[in-house]
Structure formats: C-alpha cells, structure tokens
Chain A
C-alpha cells in the first residue's frame, strides 16, 4: 500500500516528513498492550501491593505519553521550536506538581537515612 511505504510529507511549513501507516499501527498496538498491562497489574495483588507498583505504573504511563507525543503528534519530526513550546511548559508543570507534593507532604526525602 502506498501509505505503508511512503512517509507522508509534513504539511507544517518545515519540510519534515511524517511516519507511515505501519508505524502508526505499531504504536497503536504498543499503546494497547501497555494499557492492558497497567489494568492487569491493578488486579494482581502481589504486584499491586508491592513497592514497585507505583514506579512501574508511572513508567508505563510515561512511555505511553512519550509515544503519543513523539509519533502521533509528530514532535519527533517537527521543528525544534515546537518541541520547546511543548517541553518548556511541560517541565514547568511537572516541577510545579512535584514541588506542591513536597509542600503538602505527599512526598518527602528521608534525610535521616543519610546521616
């Protein structure tokens, strides 16, 4: 199929090209599988109650986030200005969220372990 082999010319005024149907399809499968793993983990008591549960959930959702942004939103192929316009506020937002978690004691650093 034409779409499968020919990357799509970007209509972005920057001359970059987009991936084709086969890449989009693979990303969709990966997103589906990761979500299935996340939901399954919620129902596996050994996983859900272990200390790795929260880090693994955050990692899996970060992978999904990055895949959608890089491939479906074409940020991987777009002009670096667009990357800055997105990642700049995203970093500020993430730091604000983490800062608020520390401020309201949802996160803490156990300094006692270091002394």
Chain B
C-alpha cells in the first residue's frame, strides 16, 4: 500500500501529520496490527515448545505432581500455585477493562461531563493509572512466583519444564513490562499537556498492544496452569 499524507480531518490528527494508506487507514494502525500478527507466531512457537517438552522432564520439580529426589529422598511438591496465578489473571483481565475505558475517555474528552459518573468515566488519568497499577501488580505476582520457584529448586536450568516455562512466561512478562512503560509515557503526556481526542490513535495503539498481552495470557493460563 502506498502511504500518502492525507489531511483527512475527519479521520483525526491532522496536526500530527498522520500518514494514511491508499485505503484511508492510518499507517500506525496497520503497523501495530502487523506487529501483533507477528507476535502471535512468536508466542505460538514458545507455547508449542512448552507443550512439546511437557511431561518429558527426567527430574523434578514438576508443575502438577509432587516429585521425590531419588538421591536424597527430598519431596518436591507440585510447583504451580494456581490461586496466586488466578489472582494475577483476574488483575490482567480487569486491566484490559480499565484500558478500554481510558481510550474511551480520551476519545470523549470534549463531551460535557455533568454528573459524577460522567466525570469518573471521562477521566483518562484515572483509567490510565488503574491500568498501569494493575500491570505493575501483575509483574509483582510474576516476580513472586519466579522467586518462589527458585527457592523451591526450579530454575531455568533445572529441567525441560523449567527451561520452557521460564522462557514462555518470562517473554510474556517482558511484554507486560514494555506495556507498562508505554502506559506510563502516555500518563506523563496526559499530565504534561492533556491527552486530546486528536491523540486517540496513539492511545488506541498502546491499548491494542495491552489487550494483545492480555489475550496471550488467557491462552498461557489455560494451557500451562489449568490443563495438567
């Protein structure tokens, strides 16, 4: 598609010099969807690796079953902590809800806000803060889980399960960390000059990335944690 500089005022952001494809679509949105498509394949390869290695570890600790070390007789319990991970999953799902409200707040910035409910729903800072804090909370849960695993004897070098598990969830955690930084940068812009409807595409791109991180976790949570 050929990129053209089209001052489509009705499409937003004429002041930002947005580039549009010949289909009238914003280049940045085409780029983020292409990126997300490529990320699907990256995570599919990581999930495939985890599933292929699942159940093929010679020694423990194992994800869902206890294991006794033959040499020492030490018993390692099943290592996955479902209640903690369920809590972190709820946090990430609700962060997606907060993110979509942040985007709506930016898009509706110029609408009059008379009631308290409208003011709350229209506060982009509130919803961006909520999303950021939930993202940080998710990373905190993951840090807690990783340190607990290492304390219990599972590292990335222990067995096939450890290698594939830390690689998969570590990659996802890195994506969440990038998303949190991105959201904090939007928050900084909001405090500095206020996010306007003309910034909606920039917020939407960050939101798409954040929701993608969420949907990947939906798959990981089911395949890694809930299915034995």
A and B: real partners? yes
Q: Which residues of A contact B (CB under 8 A)?
A: 1-3, 6, 8-9, 11-15, 18, 20-21, 24-25, 27-28, 31-32, 35, 38-39, 41-42, 48, 53-54, 57-58, 60-61, 64-65, 68-69, 72-73, 79, 81-82, 85-86, 88-90, 92-94, 96-97, 100-101, 104, 106
Residues of B within 8 A of A15 (CB): 10-11
CB closest chain-B residue, reference A64: B218
Among the listed A61, A73, A88, which residue makes an inter-chain contact with B211, where contact means beta carbons less than 8 Å apart?
A: A73
* A106 in contact with B211 given A3-B122, A13-B29 (CB within 8 Å): no
Query: With contacts A72-B207, A106-B52 known, what are 7 further pairs, Cβ within 8 A?
Result: A13-B8, A13-B18, A27-B97, A54-B227, A72-B97, A88-B37, A100-B51
B187 to chain A, nearest CB (A): 19
> Cα distance A33–B215 when bound, in Å?
16
A34 to chain B, nearest CB (A): 9
Tell me if B168 is interfacial: C-beta within 8 Å of chain A. no
B189 to chain A, nearest CB (A): 16
Q: Judging by beta carbons under 8 Å apart, are A65 and B219 in contact?
A: yes
> Cα distance A11–B215 when bound, in Å?
22
Residues of A within 8 A of B223 (CB): 61
Residues of A within 8 A of B23 (CB): 79, 81
Q: Which residues of B contact A (CB under 8 A)?
A: 8, 10-13, 18, 20, 23-26, 29-30, 33-34, 36-38, 40-41, 43-45, 47-48, 51-52, 54, 82, 86, 89-90, 93-94, 96-97, 99-101, 104, 107-108, 111-113, 115, 117-118, 121-122, 197, 200-201, 204, 207-208, 211-212, 214-215, 218-219, 221-223, 226-228
B195 to chain A, nearest CB (A): 12
Residues of A within 8 A of B54 (CB): 106
Q: Judging by beta carbons under 8 Å apart, are A85 and B33 in contact?
A: yes
> Cα distance A10–B211 when bound, in Å?
17
> Cα distance A41–B225 when bound, in Å?
12
* A97 in contact with B197 given A1-B121, A42-B82 (CB within 8 Å): no
* A85 in contact with B30 given A13-B12, A93-B40 (CB within 8 Å): yes
Q: Judging by beta carbons under 8 Å apart, are B37 and A65 in contact?
A: no
Residues of B within 8 A of A48 (CB): 228
A8 to chain B, nearest CB (A): 5
A15 to chain B, nearest CB (A): 8
